[in-house]
Structure 1
Amino acid sequence: MKNSEMSGSSPFKMRLVHLDLKGAPPKVSYLSEVFPLFHALGANGLLLEYEDMFPYEGRLRLLRAKHAYSPPEIREILHLATLNQLEVIPLVQTFGHMEFVLKHEALAHLREVALFPNTLNPHEAEALALVGAMVSQVMELHPGARWFHVGCDEVYYLGEGETSRRWLQQEHNTKARLCLSHIKAVACHVLARHPATRPLVWDDMLRAIPEDQLSALLMEKYRKCGFLRLWAASAFKGATGVSQALTPIEHHLRNNVQWLQVAARGPADLLQGVVLTGWQRYDHFSVLCELLPVGIPSLAVCLQSLLHGGFTEDVKAKVENFLGISNLEITDFTSEGPGSFPGSDILALVTHISLHLRSSVDALLERDRYVSGWFSPYHRRRRLIHPVMVQHIQPQALSLLARWSAVVRELEAALHRVFYPDAVEEWLEENVQPSLRRLQALLQDLREAAGARPHVAQDP
């Protein structure tokens, strides 16, 4: 089905899925499975935020993550995108969110504030040369890209460096001017070398307007300032909690429906499209939030709603059909059946673990009468236990540990098919190991307490 036939009643010509690769970047093999689904759901573009997954060369090589994509893998991703009629827009942060660059000692002198690796110092000629080199290397592997996203959101501590403070003391100089001058310099760099490529930028540093006056009013403000083409940015995951493991679909659906309302109120040709962001970490140093396979039902609901102008029963049925889910529940996390989309096994196992692992361990350790009554923290520290209580507690604890260990082994295997080892290790260590360790510690204390009790003398 051609994109033109699929756009239905959508006011958004372009519908981009944002892949945030600064955490749990999927293997190319998994992208080959989900790109056809993205297309079928109504996406016609991808916003690829590479961060440290891009294969930077030369003096920028130190930016590469351990499992960074190779140039042939980047070409394969672009080929797969083309096969599925998904236009690729690369995103390179060039101002804020520069931790993956400025954490390196060799580049730390380019920080706005010496202590913090978030923000680039816009006064340093070397800083502009650095982002220029990053842009050039990325563009080299994306020949013919119509758009290039230069990031520039959340430029924290801007104006707080020594050079900035001196600059801001001069007449007419403001933080807004400082921000705009750097954005303009980066945009001019892109245009000078790639005249056919249009730079894109996040708008939060340009906004400076109370939230209750946003939506159509804000669009009008940008139009008057010469921004003739605007994009909406909604989210399908990763925006509701820094360590969120499951995606609250209804929340994201509401966000996207509000954008449909905004689009309906504004001039028809003003909005180029919508980017459905899918953050994978809040920043380079934070924990992982929802994994991509976990967020796919939310993505499906949001894309189909944008495509058809809302979330009706008919649209719900379409989504269930695409995902192979018999009854999709958007208000909680209990959809019936695991689904048949790529990564649906991960969603089912992550849901099971998130909803039940900690609570089942809590139930044993804190609410079981034998544990709380005869093997409390007091008893555990002193290795005291009534012998009969070992027989009450140990089988339960062993059974619970065995059950969860089997689930975790299954999830680990599923995760390894989609993600690189470091992401698998991180997710399990954050979301699984704390509970399993509590169980293992209980069993260890039981064994030691049982071994420490006086032995009854037996007849020879």
Structure 2
Amino acid sequence: MHSTRRARTAGAERGEERERPEPSNEMRRRLVHLDLKGAPPRAAYLAEVLPLLRAMGATGLLLEYEDAFPYAPPLEALSAPHAYSRTELRQLLGRAAELGLEVVPLVQSFGHMEFALKHKEFAHLREVKLFPNALNPHKEEALALVRAMIDRVMELHRDLRWFHIGCDEVYYLGEGEESKEWLQQQGNTPEKLCLFHIKAVASYVVSSYPTVTPIVWDDMLRGISEETLAGVSPVMGIWGPTAGAAYDLGLCCRPGCGEQRYDHFSVLCELFPVAIPSLAVCLQALENGGYSEKVKENVEKLLGMSNLELDTFMSTSTGTFPGSNILTLVTQVSFYLKSSVDELLERNRYVTGWFSPYHRKRKIIHPIIMHHFQPDAISLLSKWNAVVQDLQAAMEQVFHKCTVEEWMEENVHPSLEKLQQVVDDLDKAIKAQN
């Protein structure tokens, strides 16, 4: 399809406009990008979700493993304590095959290398000594690490046609000492440096696994001329995520990218079960050529939701799909927890006027005033404790304990602890009065 792109460019220069040919239906692929870094769902939950993804319109999975893959020695440091076991992955991949879902593994090989370069045994392979983001493209040992990761992942996958080598967001490329020296040589540019490493990784995939085509994200290549890209296009495909289709090597694919984290060290962006309605709409819209009332009805039926409209998310139930109870409870917390606590502590005149931080510190409380807000504070705390207890139990069915703790600390504890503290202070003040 590269030739089609160049033909259109050449035609445009002559004042002509040629349409890009539409790929046939059998070439259309809709891959769901499962970003597993830092907080992978339990394997049992993913197995439960796979049939739903297929029904929603997915034709395959783009599995970005990072530290969720069970790397064997000498790469065992790359695997998180909650990484999948080899048995779990074999069963999951087998289930995907049964459902007709094509699997494309994704192993980051240039940028987004924090999961590897944060470890002391690999820190010397960083492009910039202080930052674990990007791999140093000049070190043979860096390429050896990438080759080893690819080999380990390949061992667990069968009948692959595509293998994604990442290569997006290679921050600080060219800023390492070796790169600065290389760039001083005549004719060398950051773009050439980027392609040098990408081609080395892609060529390894092609030479070691002749039936597999390597794929990269397109963001680092957008400013590079087509003439320069032509030197690497025979050995790899270039994908653009979500917003547009990528036409390369006979492939039309729209991978739906919903990142779990922006990078390995950032907070969680979203919980997978909460994102399922949005994912379902995207998949159905792609399958049906756009959003429509039919798409809305299809999604509501698939997910067991009475209505996709936002105001219905305030209801007690928001679906029957796997993890829908998490969506229901997260929605309650997201919309109401902070606002209800702030309403009591910052806008209730009895609290702000008669039980301010000054009063709380000195355990001062007017006996009449406490009756105006103590019941409300205790009732609100009891309600949210019950909701949070249900949410924690639901999340533990889908995620490992560390993920549940992180989400709670980021989204629940700040407000709940404020509410608990004012109830405790109120109790201490009443006892001091007595």
TM-score normalised by structure 1 residue count: 0.84
The change in CA–CA distance for 1:81 and 1:10 in structure 2 (over 3 A counts) is same
Q: Report the counterpart of residue 120 of structure 1 in structure 2.
A: 135
The CA deviation at 1:98 is: 0.4
Matched, 1:364 2:344: yes
Q: Report the counterpart of residue 162 of structure 1 in structure 2.
A: 177
Q: Report the counterpart of residue 5 of structure 1 in structure 2.
A: none
The CA deviation at 1:84 is: 1.2
Tell me, yes or no, if the aligned pair for 2:199 and 2:232 is still in contact at 8 Å. no
Q: Report the counterpart of residue 415 of structure 2 in structure 1.
A: 435
Q: Map residues 45-124 of structure 1 onto 2, 5 A cutoff.
A: 45-124=60-139
- Secondary structure, in 3 states, of the residue corresponding to 1:233? coil
The change in CA–CA distance for 1:335 and 1:436 in structure 2 (over 3 A counts) is closer
Equivalent residue pairs, number: 411
- Secondary structure, in 3 states, of the residue corresponding to 1:106? coil
CA deviation map 1:35-84 (0-9, x unaligned): 00111111110000000010001111011101110111110110110111
The change in CA–CA distance for 1:349 and 1:385 in structure 2 (over 3 A counts) is same
Tell me, yes or no, if the aligned pair for 2:216 and 2:238 is still in contact at 8 Å. no
Tell me, yes or no, if the aligned pair for 1:42 and 1:303 is still in contact at 8 Å. yes
**Range 336-345 or range 412-421, more displaced:** 336-345
- Secondary structure, in 3 states, of the residue corresponding to 2:33? strand
One-letter amino acid of the counterpart of residue 213, structure 2: R
One-letter amino acid of the counterpart of residue 128, structure 1: L
Q: Report the counterpart of residue 311 of structure 1 in structure 2.
A: 291
Q: Report the counterpart of residue 187 of structure 1 in structure 2.
A: 202
Q: Distance in 1 between matches of 2:226 and 2:432?
A: 73
Q: Map residues 265-280 of structure 1 onto 2, 5 A cutoff.
A: 271-280=251-260
The change in CA–CA distance for 1:335 and 1:120 in structure 2 (over 3 A counts) is farther
Q: Distance in 1 between matches of 2:336 and 2:293?
A: 30
- Secondary structure, in 3 states, of the residue corresponding to 2:254? strand
The CA deviation at 1:296 is: 0.5
The CA deviation at 1:391 is: 2.5
Tell me, yes or no, if the aligned pair for 2:314 and 2:332 is still in contact at 8 Å. no
The CA deviation at 1:106 is: 1.1
Q: Report the counterpart of residue 377 of structure 2 in structure 1.
A: 397
CA deviation map 1:95-119 (0-9, x unaligned): 1100010000111111111100101
Segments of 5+ residues of structure 2 without an aligned counterpart are 1-22
CA deviation map 1:290-348 (0-9, x unaligned): 11110111111000110010111112111111111111126995589411111111111
CA deviation map 1:2-26 (0-9, x unaligned): xxxxxx9969611100000013211
Tell me, yes or no, if the aligned pair for 2:164 and 2:216 is still in contact at 8 Å. yes
Q: Map residues 24-63 of structure 1 onto 2, 5 A cutoff.
A: 24-63=39-78
Q: Distance in 2 between matches of 1:295 and 1:221?
A: 39
- Please point out which of 222, 228, 247 is paired with 1:207: 222
Q: Report the counterpart of residue 10 of structure 2 in structure 1.
A: none
Matched, 1:233 2:241: yes
Q: Distance in 1 between matches of 2:352 and 2:39?
A: 39
One-letter amino acid of the counterpart of residue 312, structure 1: S
The change in CA–CA distance for 1:52 and 1:130 in structure 2 (over 3 A counts) is same
Tell me, yes or no, if the aligned pair for 2:43 and 2:92 is still in contact at 8 Å. yes
Matched, 1:354 2:369: no
Tell me, yes or no, if the aligned pair for 1:9 and 1:309 is still in contact at 8 Å. no
The change in CA–CA distance for 1:432 and 1:34 in structure 2 (over 3 A counts) is same
Q: Report the counterpart of residue 410 of structure 1 in structure 2.
A: 390
One-letter amino acid of the counterpart of residue 96, structure 2: A
TM-score normalised by structure 2 residue count: 0.89
The CA deviation at 1:373 is: 1.0
The CA deviation at 1:185 is: 0.5
Q: Map residues 285-304 of structure 1 onto 2, 5 A cutoff.
A: 285-304=265-284
- Secondary structure, in 3 states, of the residue corresponding to 2:134? coil
Q: Percent identity?
A: 59
**Range 443-452 or range 391-400, more displaced:** 443-452
Tell me, yes or no, if the aligned pair for 1:229 and 1:272 is still in contact at 8 Å. no
Q: Distance in 2 between matches of 1:305 and 1:223?
A: 33
The change in CA–CA distance for 1:179 and 1:306 in structure 2 (over 3 A counts) is same
- Secondary structure, in 3 states, of the residue corresponding to 1:112? strand
Tell me, yes or no, if the aligned pair for 2:134 and 2:173 is still in contact at 8 Å. yes
Tell me, yes or no, if the aligned pair for 1:12 and 1:274 is still in contact at 8 Å. no
Q: Distance in 2 between matches of 1:155 and 1:442?
A: 47
Tell me, yes or no, if the aligned pair for 2:215 and 2:237 is still in contact at 8 Å. no
Q: Map residues 8-27 of structure 1 onto 2, 5 A cutoff.
A: 13-27=28-42
Tell me, yes or no, if the aligned pair for 1:52 and 1:68 is still in contact at 8 Å. yes
Q: Report the counterpart of residue 383 of structure 1 in structure 2.
A: 363
Tell me, yes or no, if the aligned pair for 2:56 and 2:284 is still in contact at 8 Å. yes
Q: Report the counterpart of residue 147 of structure 1 in structure 2.
A: 162
**Range 10-19 or range 427-436, more displaced:** 10-19
- Secondary structure, in 3 states, of the residue corresponding to 2:284? helix
Q: Distance in 2 between matches of 1:398 and 1:430?
A: 23
One-letter amino acid of the counterpart of residue 183, structure 2: L
Tell me, yes or no, if the aligned pair for 1:19 and 1:49 is still in contact at 8 Å. yes
**Range 224-233 or range 312-321, more displaced:** 224-233
Tell me, yes or no, if the aligned pair for 1:327 and 1:335 is still in contact at 8 Å. no
